[in-house]
Chains A and B, each alone.
Chain A
Amino acid sequence: MSAAPVENNSSDHTQLASYFFDELIDSMIMDVASESHRIARLGLDRNLDDEEEELRLSAQARARVADPSHSEANSKYVVDIFGQTHPPVASEIFDCMNCGRSIVAGRFAPHLEKCMGKGRKARVKSTRSSTAAAAQNR
């Protein structure tokens, strides 16, 4: 890098600008080199090999799973690991802890919503005791 010329005409202005620009670029490159060098020497860099490996495994996994013939990802359940099968709607029956009625597990939530008076389609469930009490209080 030679010393900047001092003549005062436009092509030299361009040269001058170019010279300063080059100095700036050099300085920035040196900044990056110095920072990276420090990180590498002090052992602060992340383990890039592990990261590459993880990315590779991820890409491989996505490719394999996307394959229509892939057994696990796209198949319907036949049996679970305990050898059991389950219906689409859970069929266990238990008592609602709000109203005491017997409810099918798979329909418990919508039932509870109405039962507790929540949600758009709910009406507060009236029982004989509540209407009687209401009558008394009038």
Chain B
Amino acid sequence: MSNTLNSCKHLLDYKLRYGNKGFNLIQKWVKNGPYGKAHMLKSKSEVPKCDLCCGYDGRLYICLICSAMSCCVSNDDTDNHAFLHMKSNIGHEIGVDVERCELYCFGCNDQVYDLDFDKAVMCELGNVNLDGVRSSGNKRKRLNFDIGMCSDFKNFKRVVGLGGSGDWDHGRRISKSCFPIGLRGLNNLGNTCFMNSVLQALLHAPPFRNYFLSGRHDRDSCRKTSGDRFCLSCDIDVIFNAVFSGDRAPYSPAQFLYSWWRLSENLASYEQQDAHEFFMSVLDRIHEKEGKTRNTKKDNGDCHCVVHRAFSGLLRSDVTCTICGFTSTTYDPCVDISLDFNTNIDHRSPNKPQKSTETGHISTLTSCLDVFTRPEKLGSDQKLYCQNCEERQESVKQMSIRRLPLVLCLHVKRFEHSLVRKASRKIDRHLQFPFSLDMTPYVSSSIVRKRFGNRIFAFEGDESENSTNFEVFAVITHSGMLESGHYITYLRINEQWYKCDDAWVTEVDDEVVRASQIYLVFYVQKPSSGHKSSEDVGCHLRSSPSGDSFVSIAGCC
């Protein structure tokens, strides 16, 4: 949010002379309206009218200094009684728009903004759940999250070079002799592309990768301490070692498949699985194991296992009573966000002319996020209990992200299961997605602030520990039919995209990835210092607040 409000000199002068007195004076007239729209109500019995002409037309303004009410019907000076009020009373330039509780300067003829005014308005909106943490009785202590994985790097046993040496041309490697470490094909073991695609993404999720490559999961002690025969963390540790070993022949993740089947009885079969379901199940198994090993029964929100440290975020759900405005807030942890495929067409294809029959509209990932965080009016058959009214009322529900994870996995719900038709179908539509994603509009502070007319107020979690800027590093696409499709993963390493199609790893251009049908997209938080990841050239130690330190070595193969 910009700090410069461009307050006009009239407002500045006013503040110097009167401070907040005027705001406090009119505070008592501020009333809350539906959907957080504040308005002014001077008298409960009288209809607001202009002091000068006794008219009800146009917009009405209350003078900040003398509380006179004046109307503004048109830009014609004679019809702008608020302007006339200012002319005849020196210094009375600032008024408050009665319908909107916004400051208007008649000297500059523009709407102006002031932090103290907004605060004064917010205070009057009463019964408003501003505090992001305290809510209707749900447990909520301040959640402190250690997101830095810096400490892991003290244990970093192997130096990993992520940039290859080789010839450079316009910042892109042209020599084919050296490739990023960790790039290795995975053999398809029989309809297991769903597994291979997810493994490729996990292998390159920075916190996950760093954890295993630092040797944080000790297979020996794991075998000794736990009685389980199967441990997905051990198996994935083996895969990390194999894939980052420098050996380029495709690897067969057979043990992993076997362990997963043994641990997930209900999903074990030769049929093609859903990659997202598989991903969730793997994360679950790894988390479970960690919980057993550490002998702690922590709920998902506080868990410090590698899965939760990498992927766990916190979703906020606000349910507002449409009758009294009381909002009840709950928080739920999540390891990914599933987005309904937004079939509402809202973007015009920029290259096509705007014809009425034109259907060149594009669906975008950000519009799916817009829909996810949009206030949703729940049906009259879904009335929820309101603590204030003490009965079930029609409500509006709104989701937002209270805490962003380090690695953000967005799942596009392409597979529609219709209970009516008892059939499933795949939505083949293309979904545009950005390489750089700013999550600011979807975080709780932005959503709640927007709900109250974007008033300037400090919201808990504003100066957040986490950056809201994300960069894509892996994309899993699905092509083909529902039952017989194929998954592949595109990986982005040092701004070069690689296509991982089971055993085949090839280089592809940006446009191939942009044009693909995305199913799961993985973003990682960009360091908030603004340090942009750049091509690694030669040897240097690079560190960032998120703890991503690398020492690149020449001849990494």
Chain B contacts for A13, CB-based, 8 A: none
Closest-by-CB residue of B relative to A56 is B350
- How many whole Å from B281's CB to the nearest CB in chain A? 15
The reply to whether B453 and A72 form a contact with Cβ atoms under 8 Å apart is: no
Cβ contact within 8 Å between B188 and A90: yes
Chain B, residues 509-520, CB within 8 Å of chain A (1/0): the string is 111101100000
Measured between beta carbons, the chain B residues less than 8 angstroms from A112 are 257-258, 261
Evaluate whether A42 and B190 lie within 8 angstroms (CB atoms) in the complex, with A82-B248, A109-B257 already known.
Answer: no
CA–CA, A38 and B114, complex, Å: 11
Flag if B349 contacts A110 (CB, 8 Å).
no
B6 within 8 A of A: yes
User: Residues of A contacting B453 with CB < 8 Å?
Assistant: 35, 38
Chain B 493-504 per-residue mask, 1 if CB under 8 angstroms from chain A, else 0: 000001001111
Report whether A57 and B185 are in contact in the complex, using a CB–CB cutoff of 8 Å. Answer: no
> B257 — which chain A residues lie within 8 A by C-beta?
108-109, 112
Q: Are A86 and B254 in contact (CB under 8 A)?
A: no
CB-based nearest A residue for B262: A116
Q: Are A55 and B364 closer than 8 Å at their CB atoms?
A: yes
Cα distance, A55 to B363, chains bound together (Å): 10
The smallest C-beta distance from B265 to any residue of chain A, in angstroms, reads 8
Report B-chain residues with C-beta under 8 Å of the C-beta of A41.
2, 5-6, 111, 113
Contact (Cβ within 8 A) A31 B100: yes
Is the C-beta of B505 less than 8 angstroms from some C-beta in chain A? Answer: yes
Contacts of B57 in A (CB 8 A): 1, 3, 23
B438 touches A46 (CB 8 A): yes
CA distance A110 to B2 in the complex (A): 59
Instruction: Let me know if B102 and A34 touch, CB within 8 A.
Output: yes
Contact B270 A43 (CB under 8 A): no
B59 close to A30 (CB less than 8 A): yes
**Chain A residue contacts of B515, Cβ below 8 A:** 58, 61-62, 64-66, 73
| Residues of B with C-beta under 8 A to A105 | 187, 189, 252, 254
For B430, what are the chain A residues with a Cβ–Cβ distance below 8 Å?
Answer: 62
Chain A interface residue bracket vs B: 35 or more
Contact of B498 among A31, A43, A65, A81 (CB under 8 A): A81
Complexed CA–CA distance, A86 and B275 (Å): 23
Q: For the complex, what is the distance from the CA of A56 to the CA of B2, rounded to whole Å?
A: 28
Our pick among A58, A97, A111 for the contact of B432 (Cβ within 8 Å) is A58
A80/B185 contact (C-beta < 8 A), A109-B192, A113-B269 known? yes
Flag whether A102 is at the interface (Cβ < 8 A): no
- Taking A38-B111, A51-B366 as contacts, is the C-beta distance between A80 and B505 under 8 angstroms? yes
Say whether B505 contacts A97, CB under 8 Å. no
Inter-chain CA distance A111–B258, complex, in Å, is 11
Instruction: Flag whether A123 is at the interface (Cβ < 8 A).
Output: no
Q: Is A25 an interface residue (CB 8 A)?
A: no
Min CB–CB distance B176 → chain A (angstroms): 7
A94 pairs with B505, CB closer than 8 A: no
Q: Which single member of B250, B351, B434, B441 contacts A86 (CB below 8 Å)?
A: B250
How many Å lie between the Cα of A105 and that of B55 in the bound state? 85
Which of B73, B190, B268, B456 is the one whose CB lies under 8 Å from A107?
A: B190
A66 CA to B430 CA in the complex, in Å? Answer: 12
Q: Is the CB of B269 within 8 A of A86?
A: no
Question: What residues on A are CB-neighbors of B74 within 8 Å?
Answer: 1
A-B contact pairs, 23 of them (CB 8 A): A30-B100, A31-B100, A35-B454, A42-B2, A50-B434, A54-B435, A55-B362, A58-B432, A58-B515, A59-B362, A61-B511, A61-B512, A72-B506, A73-B512, A82-B248, A86-B250, A90-B503, A92-B187, A92-B252, A97-B255, A108-B190, A112-B261, A118-B270
Given contacts A38-B453, A77-B501, A77-B504, 20 further A-B contacts (CB under 8 A): A1-B73, A1-B74, A3-B57, A39-B454, A41-B6, A44-B446, A54-B432, A55-B347, A57-B510, A66-B515, A72-B512, A73-B512, A81-B183, A82-B505, A94-B252, A107-B189, A108-B189, A109-B192, A110-B190, A118-B261
Q: Interface of A with B (CB < 8 Å)?
A: 1, 3, 23, 26-27, 30-31, 34-35, 37-39, 41-44, 46-47, 50-52, 54-62, 64-66, 72-73, 77, 80-84, 86, 90, 92, 94, 97-98, 105-113, 116, 118-119
B interface, CB within 8 angstroms of A: 1-2, 5-6, 37, 55, 57-59, 73-74, 97, 99-100, 102, 111, 113, 176, 179, 183, 185, 187-192, 248-250, 252, 254-255, 257-258, 261-262, 268-270, 347, 349-351, 362, 364, 366, 430, 432, 434-436, 438, 441, 446, 453-454, 456, 498, 501-512, 514-515
5 cross-chain pairs, A with B, having the tightest CB-CB distances, nearest first: A43-B2, A109-B190, A61-B511, A90-B187, A61-B514
